[in-house]
Amino acid sequence: MSIVLLIIITAILSATQVAYATPASSPFLTVDRTLDISKGGVITVKDIYHLRNNDTDPISEFTIYLEKDLLTRMDLMSASSGNQPLSTNITPDATGNYSLIHVTFSHAVDPGTDYVFNMTYVYSLLVRGISSGTYGAYMYIYPRLPFAAVNCSVTIVMPETTTLTTLDNASYSLDNVSFTPITYSPRWVYNKIIAPLVPLSNTTQAIFFKANVMQMFYVGSIDRSIALDQFGRIFVSDSYNMMYLDYTSTSTIDLNLLEGRTNVNASDSLGNLKVVSVFGNATVNYATVSFRYYLQTYENVSFTVNYQIPANKYLSKVGTSDRYRLNITLYPSLNWTIRDAAVKISLPEGGDYVASAVHPQTIQKTYLQTVVEYLLPIGAAMNNSATILDYDYAILWSAFRPTLWAGLTIAALGGVVLIARRRKNENPVEAEALPLDDLKEFVDLYDEKNALLDELEEAEEEEKRGVLRKEDRKRMKIVEAQLGTLSKKIGELKPEIRSASTQHANALKRMEVAEADMAAAKDSLKKVDAQIRAGQISREAYEKLKRTYQKRIGSAKGVVDSAIITFKEEVEAF
């Protein structure tokens, strides 16, 4: 299905031919294009335009055509000449089939003079799994320009451990032009020079390649917390919320960490996760985290990675004053585009914010601590965005801090004694009574719900074996209706129990998280059941996945049962 979709998309785009006017005197133009496909499925396109003005009038703007559907997959676009950013403006063309990217030069290019500028685009959701080990992406192989270029050099950089291919593995042919493999260290690089590149090149193509695992994720959000303490230590915590997009299931993920990381650990809502390996050198630092179960396509996962980094690498003293400078990467360097991201930097207690190279969104200052928060746009992680933050901190604060806390403790105790004396003759206020009737009803409803769920699961097993009777099917519908009614009643009781105490609220939260995880695992189990019946996965893979999901269901059920038992004991005690 994915192959057909890619071919149809490519055919539609290839069939779209529009006549555009060519300038009377076109500039002398050469283009160098690099298509870099990351392991996470993000495509970064970098174009270098070398232009000479052959006209009699100056040139101050350049126009590039972009197929409009690609615009919806574009996460980032930038233009520059040297180190100077260039302004861009996007408008639809007259046909509505394309978008026009208008690039305004930093200065007018006079006749007979040269000008060099760069365009960078970052795309996501263009790569998809075709079958196990085979992937495809549709992309402009060449830029679409209103006039001819003398030549266009196209370089395709493949993800690690992948090779360019066609569906029949016969050649590296794209658009009837063979690409030549030129290097492999550690990624395959292919190149082809087109001379000339004709105006409005019809070059949207499906790129097929082979890979073991791509680890393609859609990163909904990431929150990075960087905390500095009074002893000069720096702690980092990265919380991810992601959706898995790959065709092949996976149980691990590789994450880039800041250099010098130590004490790496990971966790999710149910507890600690296993960190399989941690690797680092002068250029690469990453950890491999193992999930509780195999992720299937379009399955969500949330987790946190914590570690410590050395202060002497990221923190320095400014002059002879009490001023310090933090030079650090705001976002993890990822293979994926981040949709929603935030970074909070907590200064050591007693530290005062001075300035930052990147303007923060908020600065929250309390009596003892200052927290600086940054919100950067989509695509920031692809640029490996960093900042320099200056703050003032008196070194004597760490020595003064215990005395301060002792003073605050004494003051608090004095306040408690004073309040107690004032209230000695006042009528005591009755504590809110535990809703034991509600708690008992909650427990009874849960017992009834669990009994119905067991009955429903037994009927579903019989249905899979093909031995479910007609009257049992009617009973299943009645049970499903009863479960809906019970769930509504249980939901109405939760606010009362949650408000009784922190312990009750925490128990309910653990139950809700476990139930959500149990439901997701059951859905995943149904998917692999369907896959084995359709012959899409091997028996060995099926048995492994089945054991994983059943173990996950059992663990979540244990959390729920434990909370219910605690509630029952509380009811019986009264």
Contacts of 165 (CB under 8 A, 6+ apart): 134, 172, 208, 209, 210
pLDDT-based confidence at residue 52 (cuts at 50, 70, 90): very high
Percent of the chain as helix, strand, coil, to the nearest 5: 30, 40, 30
> Which spans in 254-352 are helix H?
311-314
Parallel, antiparallel, or unpaired for β 28-37 and 74-81? unpaired
CA-based nearest residue to 46, from 99, 126, 117, 151: 117
- List, in order, residues 6 or more apart from 84 with CB less than 8 Å away: 106
Q: In this structure, are residues 347 and 370 in contact, taking their beta carbons and an 8 Å threshold? A: yes
pLDDT at 509: 80
pLDDT in tens, 213-255: 678 888 888 889 999 987 778 999 999 988 888 878 889 998 8
Poorest-pLDDT segment among 64-68, 170-174, 322-326, 560-564: 170-174
> Whole-angstrom Cα distance, residue 268 to residue 302?
6
Task: Quote the tokens at residue 404.
Answer: 């301060």
Where in the sequence of the chain do the CATH 2.60.40.1730 domains occur?
2-15+25-211, 217-392
Q: Give yes or no for a contact between 89 and 60, defined as CB atoms under 8 angstroms apart.
A: no
pTM for the structure as a whole = 0.60
Q: What integer pLDDT is reported at residue 24 of this predicted model?
A: 46
% the chain with pLDDT above 90: 21
Q: What is the pLDDT of residue 18?
A: 36
Confidence at residue 384, expressed as pLDDT on a 0 to 100 scale? 57
Q: How many CB atoms lie within 10 A of CB 540?
A: 8
- Split at pLDDT 50, 70, 90, the class of 335 is confident
> What pLDDT, on the 0 to 100 scale, is given for residue 369?
83
In 3D, which of 541, 551, 39 has the Cα closest to residue 288? 39
> What pLDDT is stored for residue 2 in this prediction?
47
For residues 327 and 334, give the distance between their C-alpha atoms in angstroms, rounded to a whole number.
19
Instruction: Name the residue with higher pLDDT: 555 or 328.
Output: 328
Q: What is the pLDDT, as a whole number, of residue 502?
A: 77
Give the C-alpha separation, 153 to 158, whole Å. 16
Query: What is the rounded CA–CA span in Å between residue 193 and residue 155?
Result: 9
Residue for token pair 């669990």: 450
Closest listed residue to residue 129, CA positions, set 298, 2, 300: 2
For residue 142, pLDDT over 80 is answered with: yes
| pLDDT confidence bin for 305, thresholds 50/70/90 | very high
Amino acid at 572: E
Q: Which residue has the tokens 């004490």?
A: 263
Write b or e for each residue in 204-221: b if 16 or more Cβ atoms lie within 10 A of its Cβ, otherwise e: bbbbbbebeebbbbbbee
3-state class of 489 per DSSP? helix
pLDDT-based confidence at residue 183 (cuts at 50, 70, 90): confident
Higher pLDDT, 468 or 13: 468
pLDDT confidence bin for 519, thresholds 50/70/90: confident
Q: Can you list the positions of beta strands (E) in 213-299?
A: 217-228, 234-244, 250-256, 262-268, 271-280, 285-295
Give the confidence band of 16 by pLDDT, cuts at 50, 70, 90.
Answer: very low
In this predicted structure, which of 56-60, 190-194, 430-434, 461-465 has the lowest mean pLDDT?
A: 430-434
Res. 118 pLDDT band, cuts 50 70 90: very high
pLDDT digit string, tens, across residues 368-420 = 789 999 887 655 555 556 788 999 887 554 544 544 444 544 455 455 444 44
Helix (H, G, I), strand (E, B), or coil: what is residue 237?
strand
What pLDDT shows up at residue 235? Answer: 94
Cα 55 to Cα 59, 81, 113, 117, 345: the distances in Å are: 8, 21, 10, 19, 53
Banded pLDDT at 79 (limits 50, 70, 90): very high
Predicted confidence band at 33 (pLDDT cuts at 50, 70, 90)? very high
- The SS3 call for residue 416 is helix
| Amino acid at position 365, single letter | K
Q: Average pLDDT of 258-267?
A: 90
pLDDT at 21 over 50: no
pLDDT at 427 over 70: no
Q: For 491-505, how does the pLDDT look when each residue is reduced to its tens digit (9 = 90+)?
A: 888 888 877 777 787
Angle made by CA atoms 353, 356, 359, in degrees to the nearest 5: 110
Dihedrals φ, ψ of 3, to 5°?
-65, -45
Q: What is the pLDDT of residue 282?
A: 56
Split at pLDDT 50, 70, 90, the class of 186 is: confident
| 137 has a pLDDT exceeding 50 | yes
% of the chain at pLDDT higher than 70 = 79
14 conformational bin, left if phi > 0, alpha if psi -120 to 50, beta if neither: alpha
Q: In which band, very low, low, confident or very high, does the pLDDT at 101 lie, cut at 50, 70 and 90?
A: very high
User: What confidence tier does 103 reach under pLDDT thresholds 50, 70, 90?
Assistant: very high
**Which tops the pLDDT comparison, 124 or 18?**
124
Q: Which of 189, 169, 170 is nearest to 179 (CA)?
A: 189
pLDDT of residue 377: 64
Tokens of 421: 């004396």
DSSP state string for 67-108: EHHHHHTEEEEEEEETTEEEEEEEEE-TTSSEEEEEEEEEEE
Q: Is 413 or 511 the better-scoring residue by pLDDT?
A: 511
Q: Looking at residue 1, what is its pLDDT?
A: 45
Is residue 328 pLDDT above 70, yes or no?
Answer: yes
What does the pLDDT look like over 62-78, one tens digit per residue?
999 988 778 878 888 89
pLDDT of residue 430: 39
Residue 39: what pLDDT?
A: 81
Contact in structure between 139 and 43 (CB atoms under 8 Å): yes
Most confident of 193-197, 277-281, 379-383: 193-197
Q: What is the DSSP string of 36-78?
A: EE-TTS-EEEEEEEEEE--SSS-EEEEEEEEEHHHHHTEEEEE
pLDDT above 90 (res 481) = no
* Mean pLDDT value across the chain: 78
User: Which of 355-364, 405-414, 534-543 shows the lowest mean pLDDT across its residues?
Assistant: 405-414
pLDDT > 80? residue 366: no
Q: Is 163 exposed, middle or buried (0-12, 13-18, 19+ CB in 10 A)?
A: middle
The pLDDT value recorded for residue 276 is 83
Under 8 Å CB-to-CB from 559, ≥6 apart: which residues? 270, 510, 511, 513, 514
Q: What is the pLDDT of residue 415?
A: 53
The stretch 458-483 carries a mean pLDDT of: 71
Q: For domain 2-15+25-211, give the CATH number.
A: 2.60.40.1730
User: What span, in angstroms and rounded, lies between the C-alpha atoms of 187 and 160?
Assistant: 5
- 217-392 is a CATH 3.40.50.1820 domain: no
Residues in the chain, overall count:
574
Q: Smallest Cα–Cα separation from 483: which of 523, 456, 516? A: 456
Per-residue pLDDT, 395: 59
How far apart, in whole angstroms, are the C-alpha atoms of residue 167 and residue 309?
46
What 3-state DSSP class applies to 260? coil
